[in-house]
Amino acid sequence: MSKKRSIDEINEKIRSGKAVVLTAEQVSAMGKEMTSAELFDKVDVVTTATFGPMCSSGAFINFGHTSPPMRMERITLNNVPAYGGIAAVDAYLGATETAMPHDQYGGAHVIEELIAGKDVILQATAKGTDCYTRTEVKTFINRNTINEFIMFNPRNAYQNYNVAVNSTSKIKYTYMGILLPSFGNANFSTSGELSPLLNDPELRTIGIGTRILFGGAVGYVAWHGTQFNTGKPVNEHGVPVGNSATLALIGDAKQMSNRFIKAAYFEKYGVSMFVGVGIPIPVLDDDLAKRVSVCNRQIETNIIDYGSGNFELLGRIDYESLFSGKISFNGKKIRTAPLSSVKVAREIADILKKEISEGRFYLTEPVALFPRTTGLNSLEIRI
């Protein structure tokens, strides 16, 4: 009979300073020499992390009321439009939003500047009502003058993601970076064996209410992310191949660090935002001990042609090969490059390890786990 432990038991060990906390990379190395039962006996918590571009991100902001009061309708922050179709002085600023289609400055830059404590120009107009008589405002705001600054990202921390290549004779500018013609390079975006959802591929410990490190501060898993898909095939090691599960995350952006929230611009594509996420995986039994010992050689993903226009599946590759810097494909050596930063992911995993080991971060039991899905709907053009 396999051994088991509970999250409450792990938290008690954290409280007493007896919990053994290691990063996913450390446990992956141990897994080459130990059985899952031996790992279970030695490790209580495994810290995972990722730091990469996550376009489906943004922040809710409450600006505070003016005098006389105003129901803000058309809102910009440093000229970047924010959505004002909610309450009077609430807005949602999307990371990829820009004033003009080809601007290199967008919502992610505004969010990063607010996190850094910088002033941002708020401009808003309204039609005016009997209860909200003011019709325009222009002023500076910063994270100390606003009330709430809540990062809420609908789709972060993809469980796995495609490798992007380009079969055509022209350079392609994509959200996966610049893709050189004739399979001139291959870009990918994950932290591999450090990546959170690859260490708990069945999402046994990650659900609604899971406490995480989010942008360098405490955050929570709010829901499953958009385009959540657990119906993808898995390889012989039980790892989903290709883009599958995602997380919706929430946290107090006033507490975040612009070390772990970074705006980015992808040439001829647009603005995105690098987001740092760290998630602790409690080692509850032998099965989870086996899962958290997964290594890059055992994690595979799909090679997709981003040049053809129909995202054709060309093959499959493991992350050990991708991180080596070159892969063999179609009879040629192709240079590989990660969009995500393993260096920063390691830093996040180490910070989380320290916070747990020193009793400042406790694990949470999810209040609900996520559903199993069979696929995603496509948008049907019916007009």
Q: Which of 100, 131, 379, 383 is catalytic?
A: 131
Cα distances from 103 to residues 24, 79, 100, 263, 264, in angstroms, run 38, 11, 5, 13, 12
Distance in angstroms (rounded) separating the CA atoms of residues 190 and 98:
26
160: phi then psi, degrees, rounded to nearest 5: -160, 165
Distance in angstroms (rounded) separating the CA atoms of residues 182 and 165:
9
Distance in angstroms (rounded) separating the CA atoms of residues 109 and 53:
13
- The verdict on whether 295 is a catalytic residue reads no
Distance in angstroms (rounded) separating the CA atoms of residues 311 and 153:
25
Cα distances from 315 to residues 85, 163, 164, in angstroms, run 44, 10, 11
DSSP states of 59-72: EEEE----SS----
Q: Answer yes or no: are the C-beta atoms of 275 and 54 closer than 8 Å.
A: yes
Extract the tokens encoding 277: 């996420």
Please choose, from the candidates 308, 179, 197, the residue with its C-alpha nearest in 3D space to the C-alpha of residue 243. Answer: 197
SS3 253: helix
Distance in angstroms (rounded) separating the CA atoms of residues 238 and 287:
11
Q: Answer yes or no: are the C-beta atoms of 68 and 59 closer than 8 Å.
A: no
Across 192-201, b (16+ Cβ under 10 Å) vs e yields bbbbbbbbbb
Query: Which residues are part of the catalytic machinery?
Result: 131
